[in-house]
Amino acid sequence: IMIPTSLAPYHISTNVYDGFAIVCLRLVYTCSSGSCPNPRRYPTEPLLCTAPIKYQYANFSANYLYWGKGTIQFQLINQRSDFSFALFTGGLENPKLVGLTKLSPFKNPKAPVFPRLAQGKTHDEMAVTWTSGYDVGEAYPFVEWGMVTSGSGGGNPARTPAGTLTFNRGSMCGAPARTIGWRDPGFIHTAFMRGLWPNKEYFYKVGHELPDGTVVWGKPYTFRAPPTPGQSSLQRVIVFGDMGKAERDGSNEYANYQPGSLNTTDALVKDLDNFDMVFHIGDLPYANGYISQWDQFTAQVAPISARKPYMIASGNHERDWPNTGGFFDVEDSGGECGVLAETMYYYPAENRANFWYKVDYGMFRFCVADSEHDWREGTPQYKFIEECLSTVDRKHQPWLVFAAHRVLGYSSNKWYAEQGSFEEPKGRESLQKLWQRHRVDLAIFGHVHNYERTCPLYQNQCVSNERSRYSGTMNGTIFVVAGGGGSHLNGYTSAVPKWSVFRDRDYGFTKLTAFNHSSLLFEYKRSSDGEVYDNFTIHRDYRDVLGCVHDSCFPTTLAT
Whether the per-residue pLDDT at 513 is higher than 50: the answer is yes
Q: pLDDT at residue 3 above 90?
A: no
What is the reported pLDDT for 69?
Answer: 78
Would you say 321 and 356 are in contact if contact means Cβ atoms under 8 Å apart?
A: no
Q: Is 50 exceeded by the pLDDT of residue 127?
A: yes
- What average pLDDT does the segment 531-552 reach? 94
Confidence (pLDDT) at 549: 87
Cβ pair 370, 354 in contact under 8 A: yes
Give the percent of the chain with pLDDT over 70.
Answer: 92
Confidence (pLDDT) at 47: 83
User: How many angstroms from the chain centroid is the CA of residue 210?
Assistant: 32
DSSP string covering 483-505, please? --SSSPP--B-SSPPTTEEEEE-
Q: Give the C-alpha separation, 347 to 345, whole Å.
A: 7
Q: What is the pLDDT of residue 43?
A: 73
pTM for this entry: 0.94
Q: Which candidate, 422, 404, 425, places its Cα nearest to that of 414? A: 422
Crossing angle of helices 261-270 and 292-305, rounded to 10°? 20
Quickly state the pLDDT bin for 2 (edges 50, 70, 90): very low
Residue 94: predicted pLDDT: 84
Quickly list DSSP for 399-465.
EEEEEESS-SS---BHHHHHHTSSSSTT-STTTHHHHHHTT--EEEE-SSSSEEEEEEEETTEES--
Q: What is the pLDDT of residue 44?
A: 76
Find the range with the poorest average confidence among 96-110, 354-368, 399-413, 468-482: 96-110
Q: The domain at 235-243+258-282+305-546 falls in which architecture?
A: 4-Layer Sandwich (3.60)
CA distances 262 to 266, 331, 337, Å, are 6, 26, 26
Q: Can you give the pLDDT at residue 40?
A: 56
Given this model, what pLDDT does residue 405 score? 98
Residue type (1 letter), 72: I
Determine the pLDDT at residue 31. Answer: 44
Q: Can you give the residue ranges of every domain in the chain?
A: 6-100, 235-243+258-282+305-546
Report the distance separating Cα 403 and Cα 366, nearest Å: 7
**pLDDT at 12 > cutoff 90:** no
Decide if pLDDT at 28 tops 80: no
pLDDT above 90: residue 159: yes
State residue 7's pLDDT score: 29
- pLDDT band of 60, cuts 50, 70, 90: confident
Looking at per-residue pLDDT, the higher value among 504 and 551 belongs to 504
pLDDT at 319 over 50: yes
- pLDDT for residue 27: 41
pLDDT of residue 87: 87
Kindly report each contact of residues 519-524 with a partner whose C-beta sits within 8 Å and lies 24 or more positions away, as own/partner.
Answer: 520/399, 520/441, 522/442, 522/478, 522/480, 524/451, 524/453, 524/480, 524/482
Q: Which of 74-78, 168-172, 439-443 has the lowest mean pLDDT?
A: 74-78
Residues 52-69, mean pLDDT to the nearest whole number: 79
Higher-pLDDT residue of 55, 128 = 128
